[in-house]
Amino acid sequence: MGSVVTAFVQNWLSLRTQTKIRVFQERKEAYIGLLEAWLKQENSKYCEASFFDVGHWVLRAELVASPSVFSLLKKWQETDPGSPDRIQATNDLKTAMRHDLR
């Protein structure tokens, strides 16, 4: 009986660890992709293709983000590019992303 419980607990802990690792990897990929898309957008002076790239990564980030990052992504989307509000929203979002990846 004890070995069955031990096997069950080990399996549960293993699945829990694998889930945490997967969530971390998915968030990391989405957040880094978004940051790289922002950089490309700035360098291309906001061309149409860069908007699609940023939109793609925003959507991916929304799918895996924590509630705090998700709400900040929405706030970021409501601001105009280059505005002081966008700059503040971007800084807040970066801080929340860093916190998510710790």
Three-class HEC string of 26-52: HHHHHHHHHHHHHHHHHHCCCCHHHHH
Q: Give the span between the Cα atoms of 57 and 43, in whole angstroms.
A: 17
pLDDT at 70: 96
Cα four-point dihedral sign 30, 36, 34, 31 = positive
Q: Give the span between the Cα atoms of 69 and 65, in whole angstroms.
A: 6
Reported pTM: 0.82
pLDDT for residue 48 is more than 90: no
Q: What is the mean pLDDT of the chain?
A: 91
Query: What are the backbone angles phi and psi of residue 45, rounded to the nearest 5°?
Result: 60, 45
pLDDT for residue 29 is more than 90: yes
Looking at residue 1, the DSSP 8-state letter turns out to be -
pLDDT at 62: 95
Predicted confidence (pLDDT) per residue in 52-93, tens digit: 999 999 999 999 999 999 999 999 999 988 899 999 999 999
